[in-house]
Amino acid sequence: MEPAKVYFSDLRTDEISTLEKLRRLMKAAGFEQIDFKDKYVAVKLHFGEPGNMAYLRPNWARVVCDYVRALGGKPFLTDCNTLYVGGRANALDHLDSAMLNGYSPMTTGAQCIIADGLKGDDYDLVPIRGGKYLRAAKIGRAIMDADIFISLTHAKGHPAAGFGGALKNIGMGCGSRAGKMAMHADGKPYVQTDLCVGCGACAKICAHNGPQIADKKCHIDHDACTGCGRCIAICPKDAIRPGLDSSEKILNCKITEYAKAVLDGRPSYCINIVRDISPNCDCHAENDVPIVPDVGMFASADPVALDLACAEAVNRQPVMPNCAITDLQLEHDCDRFHAAHDNTHWQDMIEHGKKLGLGSDEYEIVNIH
């Protein structure tokens, strides 16, 4: 089998804008080979949690939507509601957050549709062919109603998955609230009480009253906990730990199986914008200093090869000063994402994606100028 083609353009510009470079990248990558005529096209992206400044600006989405429309398609921007408390836990708040961050029909040329409905319970049960951990995925209905699927991803780190690329954007992002719960279910956390100071940050971030503070210590009520892992990421003392040593691996494999359900049987394409590479997901209401310099734009029909190419490109970059991993005693060739979150192993998604037939772990970079 020939290596998958991953198309790349850097962010250097002279006479043309970065956005025009994205359009040229899409054209060179074979975007026009998809028949968009009169087709509904889901453009899946992350609108950004209010307070976060690393999310993709709407200008990027405008390029994609204008191109789809020029080819006769009917694009809409979409995401699913979150499991945790925040600005995107229901469709009304989610749309308010999208508008606050600049996503409107005027700025993007497309409507925003929250795929799993008002309360996150509008989903299709989609079979997962070859799934090891799950038989079916609960995918936001509007996403499954689309004829064509496009992933537009801000590539960055993630406290549970390690790397937030196309597979994460598609798999976790397209899961309804019930779907997200199914993906997180094996990782209900526990508290290492000698580290806990009872600050209550975990209780404030939880939508389900899982963390309980008593006598200046926290414990997790597993009957209430959904296993979303938000408290793990927010704890300032690193006192909250995953319940199973293998939970990150299982989560990454489930994310990949959800991505398989979304992409199976219809035309799709994936674009990763590798800039503002923050250590945490855009779900956070803040963003830290990028861990490495900006890299560029990648596009491929193969999400596995695409994510591998992006992650390996990031790992070739120098560590940025004054970032989350600057002061760690790192080897020159260390994994930047693992350094940011040492309990993660993003390669699990690549390995499982290959086993599922979702893509290849061999790729060829095609440079587009």
> Could you tell me which residues come within 8 angstroms of residue 4 by beta carbon, excluding any fewer than 6 positions away?
300, 301, 302, 304, 305, 306, 359, 360, 362, 363, 364
DSSP state string for 276-310: S--SS-TTSSS----SS---EEEEES-HHHHHHHH
3-state secondary structure of 350: helix
DSSP character at residue 328 = S
For residue 224, report the phi and psi dihedrals to the nearest 5 degrees. Answer: -90, -30
Tokens representing residue 209 in the block: 């009253």
> Could you tell me which residues come within 8 angstroms of residue 132 by beta carbon, excluding any fewer than 6 positions away?
253, 257, 352, 355
DSSP state string for 66-122: HHHHHTT-EEEEEE---SSSSTTSSHHHHHHHHHHTT-SHHHHSSEEEETT-SSS--
Neighbours of 149 (CB within 10 A): 21
Question: Could you tell me where the DSSP H helices lie in the chain?
Answer: 18-28, 58-70, 91-100, 105-108, 141-145, 166-174, 177-184, 201-205, 230-234, 247-263, 303-315, 336-340, 347-355
Q: How far is CA 357 from the centre of its chain?
A: 20
pLDDT tens for the chain, 369 residues long, are 799 999 999 999 988 999 999 999 999 999 999 999 999 999 999 999 999 999 999 999 999 999 999 999 999 999 999 987 789 999 999 999 999 999 999 999 999 999 999 999 999 999 999 999 999 999 999 999 999 999 999 999 999 999 999 999 999 999 998 899 888 876 678 899 999 999 999 999 888 899 999 999 999 998 888 777 778 878 888 898 876 655 788 999 999 999 999 999 999 999 999 999 999 999 999 999 999 999 999 999 999 999 999 999 999 999 999 999 998 867 667 899 999 998 899 999 999 999 999 999 999 999 998
